[in-house]
Homo-oligomer: A and B are copies of this chain.
Amino acid sequence: MKTLFSAISCFFTLLFFGQQTSKNLIPFVKPIIGTQRMGHVYPGATAPFGMVQLSPDTDTIPYAVNGKYNPDVYRYCAGYQYDDKTIVGFSHTHFSGTGHSDLGDFLIMPTIGNLQLNPGTATAPSKGFRSTFSHENELAEAGYYKVKLDDHNITAELTASTRVGMHQYTFPKTDQAHIILDLMAGIYNYDEKNVWTYIRVVNDTLVTGYKQTNGWARTRTIYFAMSFSKPFKNYGQKNFDEKQVYRGFWRKFDQEDNFPEIAGKKIRMFFDFDTEANEKIKVKFALSPVSQKNALQNLTEEIPHWDFEKVKKQTQNSWNQELNKIQVDASPDDKTNFYTAMYHAFITPTVYQDRNGEYKGLDQDVHQANGFTNYTTFSLWDTYRTLHPLFNILQPKRNADMVASMLAHYDQSSLHMLPIWSHHANDNWCMSGYHSVSVIADAILKGTYTGDAEAALNACVITARKSNYEGIGYYIDKGYIPAEKSGISVSNTLEYAYDDWTIAQLAKKLNKTDIYNEFILRSENWRNNFNPVSGFMEPKLANGTFKKDFDAYSTHGQGFIEGNSWNYSFFVPHNPDALVTIMGGKKQFGKKLDTLFTMHLSDAFFAETEDITRDGIIGGYVHGNEPAHHVVYLYNWADQPWKTQERVRQILKMQYKPTPDGLGGNDDCGQMSAWYIFSSMGFYPVAPGSLEYAIGSPLITNAIIHLENGKTFEVATQNQSETNPYVKKIILNGKTLERYYITHDEIMNGGKITFIMSSKK
- On whether the beta carbons of B365 and A189 are closer than 8 Å, the reply is no
Partner of A196, one of B212, B249, B291, B469: B212
Q: Is A145 an interface residue (CB 8 A)?
A: no
Evaluate whether A214 and B193 lie within 8 angstroms (CB atoms) in the complex, with A261-B415, A414-B202 already known: no
Interface of A is mostly: loop
- By a CB distance below 8 angstroms, the chain B residues around A264 are 214
Instruction: Answer yes or no: A363 CB below 8 A from chain B CBs.
Output: yes
Which of these, B193, B244, B258, B366, contacts A246 with CB under 8 Å?
B193
A79–B250 alpha-carbon span in the complex (Å): 24
Q: Is A215 an interface residue (CB 8 A)?
A: yes
Q: For A253, A258, A421, which residue has the most chain B Cβ atoms within 10 angstroms?
A: A253
Evaluate contact between B200 and A363: CB separation under 8 angstroms: yes
Which residues from 52 to 102 on chain A have a C-beta closer than 8 Å to any C-beta of chain B?
63
Scan A195-226; emit 1 where CB is below 8 A from any B CB, else 0: 11010111000001010101110110000000
* Copies of this chain per assembly: 2
By beta carbon, the residue of chain B nearest A217 is B246
Give the docked Cα–Cα distance between A470 and B261 (Å).
16
User: Would you call A468 and B253 a contact (CB within 8 A)?
Assistant: yes
A292: CB under 8 A from chain B?
Answer: yes
- Within 8 Å of chain B (Cβ to Cβ): is A364? yes
CA distance A366 to B356 in the complex (A): 15
C-alpha spacing A428/B201, complex, angstroms: 18
A250 B196 Cβ-Cβ under 8 A:
no
Known: A364-B292, A365-B292, A469-B253. A189 touches B246 (CB 8 A): yes
**Bound Cα distance A195, B681 (Å):** 52
Q: Does A430 touch B at the CB level, under 8 Å?
A: yes
Interface pair B252/A470, CB less than 8 Å apart: yes
On whether the beta carbons of B200 and A219 are closer than 8 Å, the reply is no
Q: Please tell me if the beta carbons of A196 and B210 are within 8 angstroms of each other in the complex.
A: no
Query: In the assembled complex, how far is the CB of residue A418 from the closest CB belonging to chain B, in whole angstroms?
Result: 14
Most B CB atoms within 10 A — which of A261, A415, A428, A429?
A261
The total of chain A residues at the interface (CB under 8 A) is 49
Determine how close the nearest CB of chain B comes to the CB of A344; give it in whole angstroms.
25
Closest to A295 in B: B365
A414–B218 alpha-carbon span in the complex (Å): 30
**A291: shortest Cβ distance to chain B, in Å?**
5
A243 to B243, CA, bound (A): 15
Asked whether A245 is an interface residue with its Cβ less than 8 Å from the other chain, the reply is yes
Q: Looking at A249, A254, A415, which has the most chain B CB atoms within 10 Å of its CB? A: A249
Inter-chain contacts of A246 with B (CB < 8 A): 189, 193, 214-216, 218
Known contacts A212-B196, A252-B470, A366-B291, A245 near B63 by CB under 8 Å: yes
| Interface status of A660 (Cβ within 8 A of chain B) | no
Chain B residues near A363 (CB, 8 Å)? 200, 208, 292
Q: In the complex, what residue of chain B is closest to A428 when comparing beta carbons? A: B249
Closest to A427 in B: B261
Name the residue of chain B whose CB is nearest to the CB of A416. B260
Chain B nearest CB, measured from A92 CB (Å):
20
Q: Which of B193, B218, B291 contacts A263, CB < 8 Å?
A: B218
Contact A365 B291 (CB under 8 A): yes
Asked whether A293 is an interface residue with its Cβ less than 8 Å from the other chain, the reply is: yes
Indicate with 1 or 0, residue by residue over A372-416, a CB within 8 angstroms of chain B CB atoms: 000000000000000000000000000000000000000001110
In the complex, A132 Cα to B337 Cα: how many Å?
Answer: 74
Interface residue? A150 (CB, 8 A): no
**Do residues A252 and B291 form an inter-chain contact, with CB atoms below 8 A?**
no
Q: Does A192 contact B (CB under 8 A)?
A: yes
Q: What's the minimum C-beta distance from A247 to chain B, rounded to whole angstroms? A: 9
Whether the Cβ atoms of A250 and B291 lie closer than 8 Å is no
Give Cα distance in the complex from A219 to B201, angstroms.
16
Interface residues in A509-532 by Cβ distance below 8 A to B read: none
Q: Is the CB of A415 within 8 A of B291?
A: no
Residue in contact with A469 in the complex, picked from B252, B415, B468, B469, CB distance below 8 Å: B252
A705-B578 Cα distance, complex, nearest whole Å: 90
A156 to B398, CA, bound (A): 54
Q: How far is the CA of A293 from the CA of B202 in the complex (A)?
A: 29
In the complex the two chains form, what is the Cα distance from A345 to B468 in whole Å?
Answer: 53
Contact yes or no, A196 B215, CB < 8 A: no
Is the Cβ of A214 less than 8 Å from the Cβ of B415? Answer: no
Contacting pair B196 A195 (CB below 8 A):
yes
With A189-B246, A219-B196, A252-B469 given, is the CB distance from A364 to B210 under 8 Å?
yes
Closest to A212 in B: B196
Q: Which residues of A contact B (CB under 8 A)?
A: 63, 189, 192-193, 195-196, 198, 200-202, 208, 210, 212, 214-216, 218-219, 243-246, 249-250, 252-254, 258, 260-261, 263-264, 291-293, 363-366, 413-415, 421, 428-430, 468-470
Q: A198-B219, A198-B364, A252-B470 are in contact. List 17 more A-B contacts (CB 8 A).
A: A193-B245, A196-B196, A196-B219, A200-B363, A202-B414, A214-B246, A214-B264, A215-B246, A218-B263, A250-B428, A250-B429, A254-B468, A258-B468, A260-B414, A291-B366, A292-B365, A293-B365
Can you name 12 A-B residue pairings with CB atoms under 8 Å?
A189-B245, A192-B243, A193-B246, A195-B195, A200-B364, A200-B414, A214-B244, A249-B429, A252-B429, A252-B469, A252-B470, A258-B468
